[in-house]
């Protein structure tokens, strides 16, 4: 179909190539030659969540809270299962509370509904962990985590003056 219709026509597929060596090499080279800036790593492959989670942990420092981030579940991951899997991976390998949450494709007004969808999935996931005894029921802390992922972390990370 690509040959018939060309790019950006809905015939994408996931690749199983995970460029861990290349990713760590380029981040390390940038870090050694002037400092790695705040960086957000996105993947189109849900199989790369753990790879990204371990790579971003290698480059954190005191420059910024959550300096290197895994971007929100996007493209093939932009669904309930993909979002839950990614947030679970972030919680297992790092600190979910520093996550920047869902991004917006601001070219489309309808994409704003994704934030509401994302927040419901996030709250259900965290609530399930609490109900299962996997995370303590601490309303103040849970509120801070949810507000952070929904809004406050992005404001802090990008330095918005609101």
CA distances from residue 45 to 42, 49, 75 in whole angstroms, order as listed: 9, 8, 9
Token pair 């809905």: residue: 10
The one-digit pLDDT tens for each residue of the chain (162 residues) are 888 888 878 777 777 787 889 999 999 999 999 889 999 998 888 889 999 999 999 999 888 889 999 988 877 788 899 999 999 999 999 899 999 998 876 666 666 778 889 999 999 999 999 999 999 999 999 999 999 999 999 999 999 998
Report pTM: 0.87
Cβ atoms of 14 and 43 closer than 8 Å: no
Report residue 145 as tokens.
């985590």
CATH of domain 2-158: 3.20.20.140
Cα–Cα dist 51/25, whole Å: 14
User: Exposure pattern of 123-141 as b/e (b: 16+ CB <10 Å)?
Assistant: eebbeebeeeeebeeeeee
CA distances from residue 92 to 68, 88, 97 in whole angstroms, order as listed: 16, 6, 12
């Amino acid at each position: 179909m690509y040959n018939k219709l060309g790019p950006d026509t809905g015939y994408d597929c996931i690749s199983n190539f995970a460029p861990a060596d290349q990713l760590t090499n380029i981040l390390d080279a940038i870090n050694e030659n002037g400092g790695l800036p705040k960086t957000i790593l996105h993947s189109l492959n849900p199989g790369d969540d753990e790879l990204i989670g371990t790579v971003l942990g290698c480059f954190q420092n005191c420059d910024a809270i959550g300096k290197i981030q895994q971007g929100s579940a996007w493209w093939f991951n932009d669904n309930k299962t993909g979002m839950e899997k990614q947030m679970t991976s972030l919680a297992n390998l790092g600190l979910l509370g520093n996550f920047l949450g869902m991004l917006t494709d601001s070219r489309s007004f309808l994409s704003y509904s994704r934030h509401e969808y994302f927040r419901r999935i996030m709250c259900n996931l965290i609530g399930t962990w609490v109900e299962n005894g996997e995370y303590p029921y601490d309303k103040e802390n849970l509120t801070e985590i949810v507000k952070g992922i929904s809004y406050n972390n992005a404001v802090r990370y990008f330095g918005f003056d609101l």
